[in-house]
Every structure is written in C-alpha cells, then in structure tokens.
C-alpha cells in the first residue's frame, strides 16, 4: 500500500510537469485579449513573432535559464589573459550565451528601431520574463534605455555608429548596454555622485572619467552609460547637486584594449545571479558625452531610468504569471487527505488572489506601454503625456511589491517542495522578485519622487485628468456601477493628494506612501475596467468581471469577508476559469 501511494504521488508530480504549457501565449487567454485590445489590427501581424517568443520561453529558454543559474555555472571574473594583459573579462557558462541567443533572436530590441513599438517589445519581454531575470532581462532593459537615449538625444554620428549593433538580432554580433549611476556614498541620492569627467587634451569633445561606481550591473556590456560630473563645464566647474551631472558613453574597449577601468569584484547577489554585477574603478576611461552636458540628469531620469522602470514592471508581470502557472498546475495534481489541494477553499483563495493581482499588474503595465506608443506616434493628449511619468513611477513601485507577494504565495501552494531549487523555478523567481523591488528606485525613493513632482511641477493634475478621461471612455451600460465606484475612488484620491500638498514637508513625507498606495489601487481598478469595457464591446466572454469583483472586495470595499456570502462562489468561478486557461 505504501509503495502504491508513493508511486501515485510521483505520477501526480509527473502529470504536473506534463501539464505545464509549451507556449505561454497560447496558454494565456488574458494576455491575448489585452494585446488585441491595445494592438488592434497589428496583433495579427505580430502574432508570429509573439508565438515564437512565447514558445521558446516555455521550452528551450526554460532549460537554459535553469542551467545558467546553477551555483557552479554563475559568472566569474577573469581579469588577465595568459600573458598578463588586462582583459577584465566576465566568463559565463555556455548555457548563458545559448539563452541570450534565443532572447536576442526574438527581436525584443530590434523592434525598437522605429519609435512606437514599445508595446510589442514589452510583450516579448513579458514572455521572456516567465523565466525570471535569467541573466538577460536586465541587459535587455539597459540596452532598450540606451537605444531610446541615442534616438532622442544622440548625435547623428552616435546614432550611425551605435544603433545598428544595439538593434542587432544576432547575439554574436550584438552590442549591449549598461547604465552605471550608483556610488557607494549615495544609492538613490544621485546628487551625491562624485565621478569626475575631465576634457581629454588629445581628443576634442571627448572626456576622461575617473571615480568609483558601486553597483554596475551588466558589467560585461560593450557600451556603458555613465553619470559623472564634468570639470570645466563652466568657469567655476560643474554646479553641485543633480544640475552638475552629465551623461557619457564609455565603450568597453578602445583600440582593442580595455578602456581604463578595472573591476574590483563581482557582486554575490540575492537574485539575478547569472547576470554579472560589479564594483568598478574608472581610471581615466575615454568617454563621449551623449546629449547636452547640462541636461544629463534630465535625460538620465526621463529616458534611461524611466525605460528601466517600465521594463522592471514588465518583468514583474512575467514573473507573476509564471508563478501562477506553477501554482495552479501543481494544485490541480497534488493530492492531500484524499483530495486535490485545489479543492480546499483556503488554497483556492490563494490562487484566486494570485490571479487577480497578476491581472491587475498586466492591465496597468500594458496600458502604460500602449500609452508610450500613443505618445511616440503623436496620438496622445497633453494630459496623457503629462501623466505618463507618474504612471511609470507608481506602476514600478506597485508591480514590484505585488510580484514578491504572488511568488511567495506560489511557494506556499507548493509547500516544502516550493523551496527546493531543483523542484521548481519558484525559489529563483522569488529571489529575482526581491531584487526587482530595489532596482531602479526603492519604494520610498519612488514615492518621494512622486511627491516632488506633485509639489514642484503639479504633475498630479495631468495624472488625475488622464484617469478622468479614461473613466469617461468606459461606455458599456452594464458597467455603470463600477464607473460610479471608480468616480468615488477618484474623488477620494484627489482629495488625499490636495490634503497632502496642503500640509508641511514632514506631514507630506509621512503620508505620501499611503497616498501612492491608493493611487495604485485606483489605477489598477480603472485599467481592469477598461479591459472589460473593451471585451464587452467586442462581445468577448471572459472571467474579467469576476476578477474585478474580487479586486473590489480585496482592495476597495474592504468589508469583512465573513459577511460576504458571494465570496466562495466568486473564488471557485475564478479558479475554474484559471484551470481552463492553463490547458493547451
């Protein structure tokens, strides 16, 4: 009897593995609808590219990500060659490069050649991120930021020289980017940067960079974007604070030799471990300014970090969706006390919450990607353009927090098995999720930036106006109750922001995070409603209405769940829909 039960348990685990999708697009009815809504007729045109990325991610990329993230296969530093010449080479396991070849081949960066394709690039990144950061999501994000930086402020010579290899789909021919801002004396305190740029005496228009950078991810990149303080930019030198910062491009190699930088050591990180991060000393590295010197901080925040924050949210969505896949499939096949564990209400509730949170994150992130394309194509209103910066910052904050929660919940569904590296990807996803929370601005940093933007630039006005316009666009009569509830929530958030700005600095600083939380809840609810409104206009039947109802119970009404007789039925209907979506 014991042997039979043991064999049955292993058979159920094998069924769990076999049940996982081999194409993340085919298995994700929600993302199909979201992309159809935002892409319109372009969805059919891009379907082949999307299918390729989604199927590669679920099959070949998955195995390569697992292999390249094993402890014995992590990157290592090889600073000198056999003749004692400095190389500062980062050595990766072959599986890392095989994975990179798959990712670059999807065209995730190549589609950015023409502005207005961030939604497509983001969709490809979403599927890639089902494998976590996997050593390449960060390089893709950094390279995307570099592409946009060059497109917007680069010189004609810089565009001609750098853009073609940055847009390359052949991994072996690619040029990939990195961005180095953080210094040991100030992480998010960018004004504390002390790296110095001195005009080069031999090369007109070029500079020599000296100083230390404390956290340099993608240290194997061929081209670095670096923030430094130029000397001699004015008679008295560069001004203090952020106004005195400029952006520079630093090629890794100059005339076949290392460009006067040295790697102290690679960081041994909690997550994103197969992507090499380092501490670096620049010892007079040759650099060229990108964009006007005096607009360095503006371009850093408005282009480079802005791009990374949106990419961070896309990655969070991919991680969350993969966690849902793992947990949902496991719960359908794992038995305990004579039943599959999905039949237990407590566990079903966890799965339903995971799906709701993931759906909301996808809704806000892909609405923002579509917003970017509208702006790039000249089809956006002034309010949308003004609102975008706030949307980027609060969305990065909220999706990264929710990502860690969803992956942690998935581990709980798997129990002790969920903590075992060789059993599932969840331990690695969890470590990556925690890193996503800190990258490109911690939670408090992002909230503080939102407060500064509201107080000094009145950016709350276009943000609130854009939400009002989006609410007015919901036309289906069946959604009137939701529209009214959203309008009340919008009024509440408006009043909270006004109250925040009317207080003193300490009061505003104390309460900004709570206000941002409410802003995120409002934006998520509205973004889900926009999707449901579109679905009903297209006569599409889905479980989105159920998702919105549970989201309302979780975040808006916040009534005692014991007083809600509809909750058990709602959870079961969401879970049934979830189970169907996981089947190919």
Q: What is the CATH number of the domain that holds 223?
A: 2.40.110.20
The rounded distance, in Å, linking the Cα atoms of 446 and 383 is: 21
In a domain, 447, yes or no: yes
In a domain, 503, yes or no: yes
Model pLDDT, residue 240: 73
In a domain, 262, yes or no: yes
Model pLDDT, residue 557: 87
**Cβ–Cβ < 8 Å for 316, 520:** no
Of the residues 269, 295, 321, the one at which a domain ends? 295
524: domain range? Answer: 443-559
The rounded distance, in Å, linking the Cα atoms of 208 and 285 is: 5
Selection from 43, 64, 4, 30 nearest residue 328 by Cα: 30
In a domain, 125, yes or no: no
pLDDT at residue 15 is higher than 90: no
In a domain, 194, yes or no: yes
The rounded distance, in Å, linking the Cα atoms of 122 and 354 is: 22
Residue 313 CA: distances (Å) to CA of 23, 80, 126, 129, 393: 22, 38, 9, 10, 10
8 pLDDT band, cuts 50/70/90, is: confident
The rounded distance, in Å, linking the Cα atoms of 329 and 580 is: 10
Model pLDDT, residue 582: 47
The rounded distance, in Å, linking the Cα atoms of 360 and 349 is: 17
What are residue 209's DSSP bridge partners? 197, 285
Model pLDDT, residue 3: 61
pLDDT tens, position by position, 269-309: 999 999 999 999 999 999 999 999 999 999 999 999 999 99
Please report which residue ranges of 154-240 form alpha helices under DSSP H: 156-166
pLDDT at residue 583 is higher than 90: no
Helix (H/G/I), strand (E/B), else coil: 347: helix
Of the residues 295, 321, 355, the one at which a domain ends? 295
Selection from 5, 6, 53 nearest residue 25 by Cα: 53
Selection from 106, 287, 295 nearest residue 203 by Cα: 287
Model pLDDT, residue 14: 85
In a domain, 154, yes or no: no
**Cβ–Cβ < 8 Å for 248, 197:** yes
In a domain, 406, yes or no: no
pLDDT tens, position by position, 92-124: 999 999 999 999 999 999 999 999 999 999 999
Model pLDDT, residue 131: 98
11 pLDDT band, cuts 50/70/90, is: confident
The rounded distance, in Å, linking the Cα atoms of 258 and 223 is: 12
578 pLDDT band, cuts 50/70/90, is: low
Q: What mean pLDDT do residues 79-86 have?
A: 90
Q: Are strands 277-289 and 261-266 parallel, antiparallel or unpaired?
A: antiparallel
pLDDT at residue 474 is higher than 70: yes
The rounded distance, in Å, linking the Cα atoms of 580 and 584 is: 9
**Cβ–Cβ < 8 Å for 193, 241:** no
In a domain, 515, yes or no: yes
pLDDT tens, position by position, 306-353: 999 999 999 999 999 999 999 999 999 999 998 999 999 999 999 999
User: DSSP secondary-structure letter at 186?
Assistant: B
Q: What mean pLDDT do residues 26-50 have?
A: 97
Of the residues 295, 312, 342, the one at which a domain ends? 295
The rounded distance, in Å, linking the Cα atoms of 142 and 203 is: 28
Model pLDDT, residue 382: 94
- Our count of domains for the chain comes to 2
Long-range residue pairs from 113-118, CB within 8 A, at least 24 positions apart, any chain: 113/163, 113/167, 115/151, 115/376, 115/377, 116/373, 116/376, 116/377, 117/373, 118/310, 118/369, 118/372, 118/373, 118/376
pLDDT tens, position by position, 354-373: 999 999 999 999 999 999 99
Selection from 339, 457, 327, 317 nearest residue 400 by Cα: 317
* Dihedral (Cα; 209, 214, 220, 226), 10-degree rounding: -40
The rounded distance, in Å, linking the Cα atoms of 506 and 77 is: 46
Question: pTM for this one?
Answer: 0.96
């Amino acid at each position: 009897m014991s042997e039979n039960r043991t064999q049955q348990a292993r058979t159920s685990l094998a069924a769990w593995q076999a049940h996982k999708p081999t194409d993340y697009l085919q298995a994700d009815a929600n993302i199909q609808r979201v992309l159809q809504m935002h892409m319109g007729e372009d969805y059919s045109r891009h379907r082949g590219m999307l299918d390729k990325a989604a199927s590669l991610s679920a099959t070949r990329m998955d195995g390569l990500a697992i292999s390249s993230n094993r402890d014995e296969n992590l990157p290592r530093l090889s600073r000198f060659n056999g003749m004692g010449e400095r190389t500062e080479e980062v050595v990766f396991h072959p599986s890392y490069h095989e994975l990179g070849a798959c990712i670059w081949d999807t065209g995730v960066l190549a589609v950015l050649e023409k502005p207005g394709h961030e939604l497509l690039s983001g969709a490809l990144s979403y599927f890639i991120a089902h494998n976590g950061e996997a050593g390449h999501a960060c390089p893709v994000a950094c390279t995307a930021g570099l592409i946009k930086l060059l497109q917007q402020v680069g010189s004609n010579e810089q565009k001609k020289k750098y853009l073609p290899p940055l847009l390359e789909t052949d991994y072996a021919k690619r040029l990939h980017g990195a961005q180095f801002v953080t210094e040991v004396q100030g992480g998010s305190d960018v004004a504390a940067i002390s790296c110095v740029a001195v005009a080069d005496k031999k090369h007109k228009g070029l500079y020599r960079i000296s100083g230390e950078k404390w956290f340099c991810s993608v240290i194997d990149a061929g081209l670095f974007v670096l923030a430094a303080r130029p000397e001699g930019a004015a008679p008295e030198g560069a001004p203090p604070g952020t106004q005195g910062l400029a952006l520079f491009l630093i090629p890794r190699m100059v005339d076949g030799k290392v460009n006067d930088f040295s790697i102290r050591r690679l960081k041994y990180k909690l997550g994103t471990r197969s992507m090499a991060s380092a501490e670096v000393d620049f010892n007079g590295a040759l650099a060229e300014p990108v964009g006007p010197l005096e607009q360095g901080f503006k371009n850093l925040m408005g282009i480079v970090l802005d791009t990374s924050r949106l990419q961070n949210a896309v990655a969070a969505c991919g991680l969350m969706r993969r966690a849902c896949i793992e947990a949902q499939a496991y719960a359908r096949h794992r038995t305990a006390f004579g039943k599959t564990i999905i039949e237990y209400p407590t566990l079903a509730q966890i799965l339903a919450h995971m799906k709701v949170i993931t759906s909301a994150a996808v809704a806000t992130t892909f609405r923002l990607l579509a917003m970017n394309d509208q702006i790039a194509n000249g089809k956006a209103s002034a309010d949308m353009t003004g609102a975008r910066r706030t949307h980027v910052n609060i969305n990065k904050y909220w999706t990264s927090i929710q990502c860690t929660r969803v992956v942690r919940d998935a581990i709980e569904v798997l129990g002790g098995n969920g903590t075992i590296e060789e059993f599932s990807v969840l331990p690695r996803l969890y470590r990556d999720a925690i890193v996503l929370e800190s990258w490109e601005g911690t939670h408090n940093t992002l909230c503080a930036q939102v407060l500064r933007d509201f107080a000094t630039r009145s950016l709350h006005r276009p943000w609130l106006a854009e939400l009002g316009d989006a609410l007015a666009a919901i036309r289906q009569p069946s959604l009137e109750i939701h529209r009214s509830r959203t309008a009340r929530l919008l009024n509440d958030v408006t009043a909270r922001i006004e109250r925040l700005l009317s207080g003193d600095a300490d009061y505003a600083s104390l309460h900004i995070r709570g206000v941002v939380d409410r802003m995120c809840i409002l934006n998520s609810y509205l973004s889900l409603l926009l999707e449901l409104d579109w679905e009903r206009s297209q006569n599409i039947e889905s479980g989105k209405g159920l998702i919105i109802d549970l989201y309302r119970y979780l975040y808006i009404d916040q009534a005692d769940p014991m007083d809600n007789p509809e909750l058990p039925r709602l959870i079961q209907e969401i879970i049934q829909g979830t189970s169907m979506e996981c089947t190919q």
